[in-house]
Chains A and B, each alone.
Chain A
Amino acid sequence: MSNRNTLKQKMKNYLNHPGSLIMMLLVMFGAILTFLVLIFLIVYILVHGVPYLKPSLFSLHYTSENASLMPALINTVIMTGLSLLIAVPLGIFAAIFLVEYAKRGNKFMGVIRLTTETLSGIPSIVYGLFGMLFFVNTLGWGFSLLAGAFTLSIMILPLIMRQTEESLKSVPDSYREGSFGLGAGKLRTVFRIVLPSAVPGILAGVILAIGRIVGETAALMYTAGTVAKVPSSVMGSGRTLAVHMYNLASEGLYMDQAYATAVVLLVLVVGINTLSGVIAKRLTKA
Chain B
Amino acid sequence: MKSKAWTEKFMQGVFFIAACASVLAVALICIFLFANGVPAMKEIGFVKFITGEMWKPNNKIFGILPMIVGSIYVTAGAILIGVPIGILTSVFMAMYCPKRIYKPLKAATELLAGIPSVVYGFFGLVVLVPAMRDFGKMLHNAFPALFPSGGNGNSMLTASVLLGMMILPTIIGTTEAAIRAVPTHYYEGSLALGATHERSIFRIVIPAAKSGVIAGIVLGIGRAIGETMAVIMVAGNQARMPVGILKGVRTLTANIVIEMGYATDLHREALIATGVVLFVFILIINFSVALLNRRSGRE
Contact = CB atoms under 8 A, between A and B. Distances in A.
Contacts of B297: none
Main secondary structure of the interface of A (DSSP, over half): helix
A219 to B, nearest CB: 9
B200 to A, nearest CB: 10
B299 interface: no
Interface stretch (A16-24, A54-62, A229-237): A16-24
A249 B125 contact: yes
B53 to A, nearest CB: 23
B258 to A, nearest CB: 10
5 contacts: A28-B96, A31-B89, A90-B18, A117-B286, A125-B226
Contact of A161 (B22, B33, B289): B22
B116 A215 contact: yes
Given A34-B168, A125-B228, A17 B199 contact: yes
B165 to A, nearest CB: 6
A13 B196 CA distance: 8
Contacts of A123: 222-223, 225-228, 253, 278, 282
A217 interface: yes
A221 B256 CA distance: 11
A38 B25 contact: no
A175 interface: no
B192 interface: no
A141 interface: no
Nearest to A111: B23
B25 A115 contact: yes
A134 B117 CA distance: 25
Given A13-B196, A23-B198, A133-B36, A30 B118 contact: no
B88 to A, nearest CB: 3
Interface centre among A2, A114, A272 (most CB of B within 10 A): A114
A27 B96 contact: yes
A128 B29 CA distance: 10
Interface in A124-149: 124-130, 132-134, 138
Interface stretch (B5-13, B38-46, B56-64, B145-153): B5-13
A218 B110 contact: no
B80 interface: no
Given A94-B21, A242-B118, A31 B92 contact: yes
A45 B120 CA distance: 10
B181 interface: no
A221 B88 CA distance: 37
Interface residues of A, number: 90
Given A93-B15, A112-B19, 11 more contacts: A20-B199, A27-B96, A30-B92, A34-B109, A41-B123, A94-B15, A124-B226, A125-B253, A129-B33, A249-B233, A255-B126
Contacts of A215: 114-119
Contacts of B96: 24, 27-28, 31
Interface of A: 1-2, 13, 17, 19-21, 23-24, 26-31, 33-35, 37-38, 41, 44-45, 48, 89-94, 96-98, 100-102, 111-112, 114-119, 121-130, 132-134, 138, 154, 157-158, 161, 185-187, 211, 214-218, 221-222, 242, 245-246, 249-250, 255, 258-259, 262, 265-266, 269-270, 272-274, 277
Contacts of B21: 90, 94, 157
Contact of A266 (B28, B93, B115, B253): B115
Interface in B173-209: 191, 196-199, 201-202
A89 B287 CA distance: 28
Contacts of B257: 125, 128, 218, 221
B223 to A, nearest CB: 8
A159 to B, nearest CB: 11
B142 to A, nearest CB: 24
B108 interface: yes
Nearest to B226: A123
B246 interface: no
A209 B8 CA distance: 30
A94 B116 contact: no
Interface in B93-122: 93, 95-97, 105, 107-112, 114-122
A92 B11 CA distance: 13
B4 interface: yes
A195 B124 CA distance: 43
Contact of A30 (B84, B97, B228): B84
Contacts of B114: 211, 215, 269-270, 272-273
A280 to B, nearest CB: 10
B32 interface: yes
B229 A218 contact: yes
A274 B197 CA distance: 34
A178 B261 CA distance: 58
